[in-house]
Amino acid sequence: MSLPPIQPIEAIPSPEWAASASPVAQGDFANMLGQGVAEVEKRIQVAEEGVARFATGDDIPPHQVMLALEDARMSLQFALQVRTRLVEGFQELMRMQL
């Protein structure tokens, strides 16, 4: 009794949310940071709009509001971590002796 050969694994398609992510534009570091801050502001604004719509009795599911709030919170936490790392890096450069 022989076993059939192992078939290769097919490529898994990317999820829809990954395709909708905004690509990082080629450019200088300041533009990249500005785009990141703008993205965080946009996510916070979407969460605030969802909360306002839910509070006024608009037909929006509570889980969507919670997902938007959590997305905004995680984006803000990530931005704060980036800021902290940048400040630490700058302080390390300033401590270097030339």
Tens digits of per-residue pLDDT, 30-64? 899 999 999 999 999 999 999 999 999 988 899 99
Look up tokens 């990954």; give the residue.
18
What range defines the domain where residue 36 resides?
29-95
Within-domain flag for 77: yes
Reported confidence tier of residue 13, pLDDT bands at 50, 70, 90: low
Within-domain flag for 16: no
Rounded to the nearest 5 degrees, what angle is found at the Cα of 71, between the Cα atoms of 44 and 89? 85
Within-domain flag for 6: no
pTM: 0.66
- In the chain, the number of structural domains is 1
Is residue 27 left, alpha or beta, with left meaning phi > 0 and alpha meaning psi from -120 to 50? left
Within-domain flag for 17: no
